[in-house]
């Protein structure tokens, strides 16, 4: 798969607690240059990033991140605030306590409260697959399908594991066709990215794809520079060795 096909599905992501405005600007520049789907950044950077990209890139942010156990009202407020700051896409974390207690109706209400504040924007629901049983994953596929969210997402990248091929395949099989899958966390190679896309992921949450694209550019530039130097190098003419003189010639020269 062409790397550009992978990049256009990537939410170029930076969610480290210590990221700076300079880091976010660099992330935005890279996402614009390489044609990513969006940048996924902390809520506090949304307004600044929105001004910086000036319509050249979608801004995605996270709600209830990374644990998801704040109240529904708090998540709804976060979502409304993020939209008011300029977020185009919202990635929310579900309440895993509700999952483990089997409070499915309350969990749906939790998602719907965020959906109500994000109408007209893309909503992705993070279910944190590494903490779930397969039965819980299947049930969540059903609930997310009922919620009106556009995406179901595997992971925050802040828990015990990230996306797996098995989980992406399971989610694609059990979600409504209108619900897309986002694989996030643990995508370390172009092969990983291609595999997830082949299995049904429409989006990838990663910063690695852009890093790999930059590395490939640097390798190509290095090869071209080496080739150019080789072409420009002067050709040294080595004089031919004189033919050996015959014995008569040696005598005459003497």
Q: Is 81 a catalytic residue?
A: no
167 catalytic residue (yes or no)? no
Residue of 153, 180, 192, 208 with catalytic role: 153
- The label of the residue with tokens 């897309």 reads 180
Active site residue 182: yes
Q: Which of 58, 139, 182, 208 is catalytic?
A: 182
Active-site choice (50, 58, 88, 91) = 91
Active site positions, annotated: 91, 153, 182
């Amino acid at each position: 798969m062409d790397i550009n096909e992978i990049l256009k599905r990537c939410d170029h992501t930076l969610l480290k607690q210590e990221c700076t405005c300079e880091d976010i600007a660099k992330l935005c520049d890279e996402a614009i240059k390489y044609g990513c789907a969006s940048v996924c950044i902390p809520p506090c950077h949304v307004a600044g990033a929105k001004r910086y990209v000036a319509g050249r890139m979608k801004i995605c942010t996270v709600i209830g991140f990374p644990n998801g156990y704040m109240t529904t009202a708090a998540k709804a407020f976060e979502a409304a605030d993020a939209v008011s700051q300029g977020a185009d896409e919202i990635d929310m974390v579900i309440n895993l306590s509700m999952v483990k207690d089997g409070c499915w109706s309350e969990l749906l209400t939790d998602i719907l409260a965020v959906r109500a504040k994000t109408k007209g924007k893309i909503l992705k629901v993070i279910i944190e697959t590494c903490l779930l049983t397969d039965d819980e994953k299947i049930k969540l596929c059903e609930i997310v399908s009922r919620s009106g969210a556009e995406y179901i997402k595997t992971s925050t990248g802040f828990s015990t594991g990230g996306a797996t091929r098995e989980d992406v395949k399971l989610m694609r099989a059990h979600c409504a066709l209108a619900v897309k899958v986002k694989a996030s966390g643990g995508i370390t190679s172009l092969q990983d990215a291609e595999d997830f896309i082949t299995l049904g992921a429409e989006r990838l949450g990663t910063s690695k794809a852009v890093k790999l694209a930059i590395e490939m550019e640097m390798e190509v530039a290095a090869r071209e520079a080496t080739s150019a130097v080789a072409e420009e190098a002067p050709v040294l003419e080595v004089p031919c060795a004189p033919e050996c003189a015959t014995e008569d010639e040696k005598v005459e020269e003497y």
